[in-house]
Structure 1
Amino acid sequence: MRRRREVILSAGWGLALGGMFGCLVPWWLGYWQVRWSAEIALWAAVLGMVLVGLGLVPIVGAFAAFVRAGGTPIPAASPPRLVITGWYRYVRNPIYVGFLIVLLGQALIFGSTGMLGYTAVAWGIGALAVRYYEQPRLARRFGTAYAQYRNAVPAWIPRLHPWRPDRKNPV
Structure 2
Amino acid sequence: MFWRMTKAVLILPGTALIYVPLFIQWLGDGWPFNRLQSGALAWVMAAILAAPAFALAIKTMTQFLHEGEGTPAPWDPPKKFVVSGPYRHMRNPMLTSVILIIIAEAVALGSLALLGWGVGFFILNTIYFAFVEEPGLARRFGKEYLDYKASVPRWIPKVQPYVPPHSG
What do you get for the CA RMSD once the two structures are aligned?
2.1
Identity over the aligned pairs, expressed in percent? 27
Match of 2:23 in 1: 28
1:116 and 1:74 map into 2 onto residues whose CA distance is 24
Matched with 2:7 is 12
Q: Report the Cα offset of residue 19 of structure 1.
A: 2.1
Residues in 1 aligned to 2:130 and 2:62: alpha-carbon distance in whole angstroms: 24
Match of 1:44 in 2: 42
| Native 8 Å contact 1:54 1:101 kept in 2 | no
Alignment match of 2:53 (pick from 49, 52, 55) = 55
The amino acid across from 1:123 in the alignment is F
1:153–1:159 Cα contact (<8 Å) kept: yes
Match of 2:32 in 1: none
* Residue 107 of structure 1, CA deviation: 1.1
- Distance apart, 1:164 and its partner CA: 1.4
Once the 2 structures are TM-superposed, how far is the Cα of residue 151 of structure 1 from its aligned partner? 1.0
Structure 2 stretches lacking a partner, 5+ long? 30-34
* Secondary structure of the structure 1 residue equivalent to 2:136: helix
Number of residues paired by the alignment? 161
Match of 2:99 in 1: 100
Kindly indicate whether the alpha-carbon contact (under 8 Å) linking 2:16 and 2:98 is maintained by their aligned counterparts in 1.
no
Report the 3-state secondary structure (helix = DSSP H, G, I; strand = E; otherwise coil) of the residue aligned with 2:132: helix
Q: How far apart are residue 97 of structure 1 and its match? A: 0.5
How much does 1:170 deviate? Answer: 4.3
Using the size of structure 2 for normalisation, the TM-score is 0.86
Shift of 1:134: 0.7
Q: TM-score, normalised by structure 1?
A: 0.85
Which runs of at least 4 in structure 1 moved beyond 3 Å after TM superposition? 31-35
Residues 124-163 of structure 1 mapped to structure 2, 5 A cutoff? 124-163=123-162
Measured after TM superposition, the shift of residue 130 of structure 1 is 0.6
One-letter amino acid of the structure 2 residue matched with residue 46 of structure 1: V
SS in 2 for 1:75: coil
Secondary structure at the aligned position of 1:30 is classed as helix
* Residues 16 and 76 of structure 1: CA distance in aligned 2, closer, same or farther (over 3 Å): closer
Q: State the shift of 1:87 in Å.
A: 1.4
SS at match of 1:158: coil
Match of 1:68 among 51, 61, 66: 66
The residue number in structure 2 matching 1:117 is: 116
Letter in 2 for 1:20: T
